[in-house]
Amino acid sequence: MKQLRCEMCGSSDLIKQDGVFVCQSCGCKYSVEEARKMMVEGVVEVTGTVKVDSSDRIDNMLINAKRAFSDRKFAEAEKLFGLVLNEDPENATAILYQGLSLGWQGNTVRYYMDKTGAATERAIDIAHDQMKDGPEFAAFVDDALVQTRTIGEAIVNLCVKNIGEIADRANRSISRMKSSTSIYSDTSYLMQRTTDIQSNMASESEKLYKIIDNTFLIVVSTYNKALENLSNVEEYPEVLYKKMKSYLTQAVNLGSHLKSHMYVSKANALVRVIDEYLKRKADLALLAKKKKVDEYWTKHPDRKSSLDREKAELTDEKDELTKKRNEFEKQLTDLKRTNYEDVPTRAEIKEIESKVAQLYIDKAKLGWFKGKEKKAIDDQITALEQKKRELEPIAQQQEAEKKATYEHELAVINSALSPISNRINEITTRCNIINNELENPVIE
């Protein structure tokens, strides 16, 4: 008769439930295939020296514990991760997720976030000691921060919800009290009751705001611990630091909105640390790139000399062409300015119009009995209008001639300017290509 025993606690009391075998002693779950591998019969005699490797068993225990965590069975997960730690006290994953499991069981009354934060920081330190710098540790940190932050956000959201409910409850109490009053009610008593209700509301809300502050402080502290271990920036991707900076910036903005400021300065300080890391990483990348480029051109001196010489010749040519282009552009500016000026006859017509306008003003100022003077002004106006009509065709002829001259001169300048501008553009394009090859050679 084969016997099935639990790998974690050694119990043989396993029952099949929902397609998996469940240990009735510790709650560990096994698939059918896992159970088949565990079944033994009779007594197995082993001689010689035996080295016990429990890594596979611990991995299976972690799988079951994480399965419970994913199913949001946090009390069960906490227990199962504890069993892992009984076997391996320095297991970073078990330390982290046992703290997370405890955190998810908390609320504003049973507050476990401090223990979750402590577990996260300890797990990060241990993971760094075991994994050293590299992608594996980066992935562990990323997961640890996301998981811890998610619990913190849940607690903050719960506090915000409770603060809103406290305010609603207080407002309803005040409204009911006011609606039940009459003109005979004791006004001083009503005012005192309102003050008491508002004071209690402020007191209850203040406790929740302190929880928000403390939660943010704990999460920011885990980020600080992570950054301490991620200080060897050349070993980690830039995106990891940017993700951390993004959250910390959001946390600062949210804290300001919630009037929660205790942790803001610390979060801002970490943002500055990340900015320094990113700058250092960028500087290292530039130095590494420059070193490779310098090594490449040391091996290809002829090609570099050819590019440098071509670039110098093109630059000299461009400088000369730019001077000529500037001269033509100045001619264009002067030509356009003179084109806006009136021809002589048009200027004379405008002067006549100005005189006529003034005569009308002078006429309007004359009294009722100034008929002779008014007639004299009308005669002047008539003579000026006649002269204006005589000058108009002359002005139009001058403007037509001026327009023709302008368009001809404009075409001449543009004709001379166009090939210069085109050549400058060609030189600019070629110089950009040369610069790109000099700065980014194809290094095989």
Instruction: In whole angstroms, give the CA distance from residue 270 to residue 286.
Output: 24
Instruction: In whole angstroms, give the CA distance from residue 60 to residue 29.
Output: 9
Instruction: Return the number of other C-beta atoms located less than 10 Å from residue 386's C-beta.
Output: 10
Q: Residue 40 — very low, low, confident or very high, per pLDDT cuts 50/70/90?
A: very low
Is residue 41 pLDDT above 50, yes or no? no
What are the two backbone dihedrals, phi and then psi, of residue 336, each rounded to the nearest 5 degrees? -65, -35
pTM confidence score: 0.62
* The pLDDT of residue 308: 96
In a domain, 149, yes or no: no
Q: Tell me how far the alpha carbon of residue 128 is from its chain's centroid.
A: 28
In a domain, 205, yes or no: no
* The pLDDT of residue 315: 97
Mean per-residue pLDDT for 63-88?
Answer: 95
Q: pLDDT tens digits, residue range 384-437?
A: 999 999 999 999 999 999 999 999 999 999 999 999 999 999 999 999 999 999
Q: Residue 1 — very low, low, confident or very high, per pLDDT cuts 50/70/90?
A: very low
* The pLDDT of residue 263: 77
Q: pLDDT tens digits, residue range 268-305?
A: 899 999 999 999 999 999 999 999 999 999 999 999 99
Closest CA to 438 of 333, 269, 309, 332: 309
- Residue 84: is it exposed, middle or buried by C-beta count within 10 angstroms (0-12/13-18/19+)? buried
Q: At what angle do helices 264-299 and 371-439 cross, to 10 degrees?
A: 60
In a domain, 14, yes or no: yes
In a domain, 201, yes or no: no
In a domain, 264, yes or no: no
Q: Residue 42 — very low, low, confident or very high, per pLDDT cuts 50/70/90?
A: very low
Instruction: In whole angstroms, give the CA distance from residue 267 to residue 432.
Output: 42
Q: Which residue has the higher pLDDT, 402 or 53?
A: 402
Mean per-residue pLDDT for 374-383?
Answer: 93
Tokens at residue 265, please?
A: 């300065």
The DSSP output letter for 233 is G
Q: What's the domain count of the chain?
A: 2
Q: pLDDT tens digits, residue range 139-151?
A: 999 999 999 999 9
Tokens at residue 263, please?
A: 């942790």
In a domain, 81, yes or no: yes
In a domain, 195, yes or no: no
Element (H, E) at 326: helix 301-339
Long-range CB contacts (within 8 A, 24+) of 134-140: 134/235, 137/229, 138/230, 138/235, 138/236, 138/237, 138/240, 140/92, 140/93
Mean per-residue pLDDT for 195-207?
Answer: 90
Q: Which amino acid is at 337?
A: R
The DSSP output letter for 40 is B
Is residue 358 pLDDT above 60, yes or no? yes
* The pLDDT of residue 19: 72
Residues 311, 439: contact at Cβ < 8 Å?
A: no
* The pLDDT of residue 343: 93
Long-range CB contacts (within 8 A, 24+) of 165-170: 166/201, 166/204, 166/205, 166/208, 167/201, 167/205, 169/201, 170/197, 170/198, 170/200, 170/201
Range of the domain at 12: 1-44+54-89
Q: pLDDT tens digits, residue range 220-254?
A: 999 999 999 999 999 999 999 999 999 998 887 77
In a domain, 18, yes or no: yes
Percent of the chain topping pLDDT 70: 88
Closest CA to 96 of 23, 146, 30, 56: 146
Q: Residue 22 — very low, low, confident or very high, per pLDDT cuts 50/70/90?
A: confident
* The pLDDT of residue 302: 95
- Residue 258: is it exposed, middle or buried by C-beta count within 10 angstroms (0-12/13-18/19+)? middle
Mean per-residue pLDDT over the chain, rounded? 88
